[in-house]
Every structure is written in C-alpha cells, then in structure tokens.
Structure 1
Amino acid sequence: MHISNIRKNDFIFKFSNPTLNLLDSNQSTLSIDKWNFLSNLVRCFDENSGYKFVADFIEEQSALPLKLRFKYSSVNPFFASMMSKVQLVFEKNRDFLLLSQHDRTVLLKNTVEYTATIGGMFILRQSRLLDDFSFSQSAEMIFQPSGMIFIKRVIDQFDSDDTFIKLILTILAFATINYTVYRKNIQINLTNMKVILPIQDMYTELTWQYLVDKYGHLQAVKRFSNLLKCLFSVTKAIVEVHQVQKFTDIINSIIEQTEETNF
C-alpha cells in the first residue's frame, strides 16, 4: 500500500485539539484553570513535536515517482530528525525548565529512550507512514525486522485518545525510573527529588481527572490498565532495538544536541 494520497494539510488537520469539546459543551467537571493548563500542554506538544516536519516529508516523498519514495537514504535521517523533534516537547515544558541544570540532564538521559521512542511511535501512528510498504521496508533496515515487530505491536496497543498519550508522555519525561537496558556513564542521582515528585503527581492527577471527566471512572480504570500493558510492550521494544547501533546512535545524538543547545 502507498500513502501518496496523504498530503500536508490533511496530516496537520488531524491534530486539531479535541480537548476543549467537553468544556465548550458545559459537560466538564474540570476547572477552567485545569482545562487551560491541559490545552496549553497539548498545544505545546502540537507546536514542537515536528508535525510540520513529518507533513513536509510526506509531501516531498509523495511528489517523487513511486520507485523512489521512502528509500533508506531518506528514511534513515527522517527517523533521527523526527525523534529529536519529539524530544523538544519536553525540553519546552515549563516545569522542566524550572529544574536545575543537573536534574534536567539526569532526567533527559534517564527518560529519553522512552519519550523519544514512544513519541516517535505516536507520530508514526498519526501519519500512517508504516502503512506504506516502501517506508516499512526502509524502517526494517534501520531497526531490523524483529525490532519493527515490537514497534508495530506497541503502536497497535496505543490508546485511541491522543490527548491521553500526550499526557502520559509528559509524565514519563519526569519519571525517576531506571532501565532494564544497561548504559554506561549515566548519572541517576537527582539533586532535588522533592521538587520532581510533586510534578509527577500533578501530571498524573491531571491525566486521571481528564479520563474520568471524559469517559467515566470505569473506562478511566480500563484505559490506565491498558496503558500498563502498553508500557511493558514499550520496554520490550526498547530492549530489542537497543541492540541496533542505529537506534543507540539516534538516542546519543538527541542527548548531545540537547546538551549543546539547552544546557
């Protein structure tokens, strides 16, 4: 299947923010301040996660003859740029910017594999790029067929609510977690855990309130339960692709770029 019919405007249009619908219809139980905070968070994601970059890439490739579209030489740098742009979302977060330079660096290095990988998978789902046979083949050359099996499995498990995923990505950006994948020279000690934990709690509470407000308590529980299953699949995917040098090169490049431009 080819996705030549996907155009820039069609792709960008998909990301219009649906989170204000409940508020506009006076059905929301969230406060105005929380809805504004949520809307700003989603807007930050939409403006900084590289949607336009992906849309431009699709349009550029769609203009080529079929045999020349989504070749490895184009898809390889695309993944590096896309995952790097997704990471910008968290670097622009106001709570992240309020942390000390040391703690920002520690969080970045400890969470980048999750945030950049899940964010990249999310963009792939939205763009439907993996529906294109040529793109999928090139992706397999980068992450290996076994890695792409895990990646596609995660994408299939994603919740259908885009706002929920964006909130979860924000929570993960502040997660004080350790990986099942060992990496050298990673600092794990935060200087001020008491500042970071309330940030985690705030975003987690907002996510829960958003789900309950929109879907009710039972569906909120089910969606969080499915999220845990999805995160287990994410960990398996990261372990699998971590064996691929190109993946580790992308992650290391994101860290280096971030340190050079922000720290």
Structure 2
Amino acid sequence: MLCFLSIQKIKLQCQLNNHCEITHKTRNLCSACRLKKCFALGMNPQLIRRWSYNQLKSKHERLVINKNKNNRQLPMPSSLCLLNNDRSNLTIDEWNLFSNIIHAYDEANIIPQMKYHLEQQSLLPPKLRLNPSKSILIFKVLLSTLLPFIERSSYFHDLSIHTRQILIQNNSEIAGTLNSIFVMREINALDNMAFITSCTSIYGDEVIKHSVQLAARLETNGILVKIMILILAFSTNCSIINPYYSGSTMNLSSALSVLNIQSMLVTMFWKYLIYHYGFSGAVRCFNHLIKSVLDILYSANEMR
C-alpha cells in the first residue's frame, strides 16, 4: 500500500509544470510544488515522521471504534441517505459505479489549480498576462485530463488493447471537447479577458464564440456532465469523421463488449436521473445533455 512507502518513493506530480505559486492560501492546491518549496527552504527529509505498520493499524482501529460509538449515538439518517433509505431503482452495484465514476474524475481534478492560475494572471500588468503560448499550454492541460479519467475505469482495462486504441481514436475529440468546455466553465475562463484575448489571437473569433455558446448551454449539474463524458468515451464511435481504414473499425465481438459497457453506464445514469428529477425531469435533463453533445458535433464540423 502507498501509505507504507517512504517519502522518497512517493511521486508527486504538478499539473502546471512546477510553476505553482505556493502561499498560505494556495498551499493545499499542489502537493508537489508545496513539497518542493519546503525542501528549498531547508526542510530535512530525514526528520519526516514515518509511520510503522503497527502504528497505522492501531490508529485505524481507534478510528473504527470511535466511528462505531458515534454511529450508536446518532439517530437513523433521513430519507436523503442514498443506501440506507434508498427509494431509487438503482442497485448497490449501480450506486458503486456512480460513486466510482465521480471519484475517478475528481482524483485528478485540476479545476482549483486552473482557476487560481487564471486569477493570478489577471492580477499581473497587461504585458505580463497570458500570452499565446500559455493559452496553448492551458488547452493541452485540459485535453490531457480525459485519458487518465478513462483509464481509471476498470471496464476500460477489460477491453483488448486494440479496442482501447479505437475508442480513444474515435471518441477523444468529442469527449475531450465536452470535458474542456466543462472545465472552462467551472474555472470561469470565458469570463477572463486576458484568456479570451490570447485565445482569439490563436484560434479566431468564431472558435471563441462557439465555445462561449456551448458553455452557456451546458448542463449546470457537473456530476451529470462527468458521467456523460464517460458514456461518450465508451461509444463505438461518436466522431464526425468516418474512418477510412480498417484499423479504426471494431470487430463484432469488440463492438458488443463496448455496447455492453455503455448500456450499463446509460442504465445507471437514467435511473439516477429519475431518482433525482422524476421521470419528466429526467427526460428533459437527458434531452438537454444529448443536445449539448450534438451542439459540440455541429460546432466541430463547422470549424473544420
């Protein structure tokens, strides 16, 4: 287990090329840069406390005992509890699938770091704000978060290597664009004039205009968007380009495996929508999400 490794074996990686500004307010945003600054200020790695297995086991047992005591003292949870008083049609496995998807996305969540980075850039003098190269780097970071999210799904590793390659080739553009639009909305990138000005000089007015429209129409519930991204990633093909060579086409067995995974994801998603919004609300919400995907497909085709 990772908790038993020494500090020298722990590998922390910064999402912004080790350029985070570490202050009292931002020290929790990037562990890698925080540790780097600690070493630079003279922290001795030999003085870091190392926990033995027995110490960790003892601490865990105390936490379990305290938790059990608290559970005996607290009243039964209300109907808001998702499992103890579950009124939905979701099975325990489906709830676990739902939870795992959200956790997998949040594990590599770059939204706080990106939001802070843009805010800091806005405080700089105009000549020192975002230049085109920095804007391109931001988009690279946005697009780079999709593959780790997909790879955290156990279903992805159940497929053959060839099938995984086809999924990435056929779906990364649309799923990656949806993810990028979602992150840009969450970090208020399209309200940042320095970012807008820099991107306009690279991609032109039309691309920025389409991005603003897509972000404005995107589903406001981020949890639903995260699940929709994974559903798109497990499509047999959501690309607007027809593959012109046989290497990008799945055989029947692979296609059925992918459809089975997507069916499980969509079934869980639909049940959750009904649980959360009721049938009519679920229909409207699902229709809205599909419309967002179609808008992305249309915009991608228009900008080619």
Pick the TM interval, shorter chain. 0.7 to 0.9
Indicate yes or no: 2:193 matched with 1:145. Answer: no
Query: Of residues 267, 276, 288 in structure 2, which corresponds to 1:205?
Result: 267
Instruction: Name 1:232's counterpart in structure 2.
Output: 294
Indicate yes or no: 2:96 matched with 1:36. Answer: yes
Q: Report the AA paired with residue 159 of structure 2.
A: L
Q: Report the AA paired with residue 237 of structure 1.
A: S
Q: 1:182 to 1:199 in 2, by over 3 A?
A: closer
Instruction: Compute the displacement of 1:101 (Å).
Output: 0.4
Matches within 5 A, 1:75-90: 75-90=135-150
Q: Report the AA paired with residue 140 of structure 1.
A: T
Instruction: Compute the displacement of 1:54 (Å).
Output: 1.9
Query: Of residues 223, 226, 238 in structure 2, which corresponds to 1:163?
Result: 223
Instruction: Compute the displacement of 1:53 (Å).
Output: 4.6
Residues 105 and 149 of structure 2 are in contact (CA less than 8 Å); yes or no, is this contact kept in structure 1?
Answer: yes
Structure 1 alignment gaps of length 5 or more? 1-6, 13-20, 244-263
Q: How many residues in Structure 1 have an aligned counterpart in Structure 2? A: 228
Instruction: Name 1:23's counterpart in structure 2.
Output: 82
Indicate yes or no: 2:237 matched with 1:177. Answer: yes
Instruction: Compute the displacement of 1:70 (Å).
Output: 2.4
Instruction: Compute the displacement of 1:34 (Å).
Output: 2.2
Identity %: 26
TM-score, normalising length: structure 1: 0.77
Instruction: Compute the displacement of 1:143 (Å).
Output: 2.5
Q: Report the AA paired with residue 293 of structure 2.
A: L
Instruction: Compute the displacement of 1:39 (Å).
Output: 1.2
TM-score, normalising length: structure 2: 0.67
Q: Report the AA paired with residue 102 of structure 1.
A: H
Instruction: Compute the displacement of 1:102 (Å).
Output: 0.2
More RCO (CA 8 Å, sep 6+) = 1
Indicate yes or no: 2:166 matched with 1:110. Answer: no
Instruction: Compute the displacement of 1:25 (Å).
Output: 8.6
Residues 103 and 190 of structure 1 are in contact (CA less than 8 Å); yes or no, is this contact kept in structure 2?
Answer: yes
Which of these two proteins has the greater Rg computed from alpha carbons?
2
Residues 109 and 186 of structure 1 are in contact (CA less than 8 Å); yes or no, is this contact kept in structure 2?
Answer: no
More helix by share: 1
Structure 1's consecutive aligned runs of 4 or more residues displaced over 4 angstroms after TM superposition are 7-12, 182-186
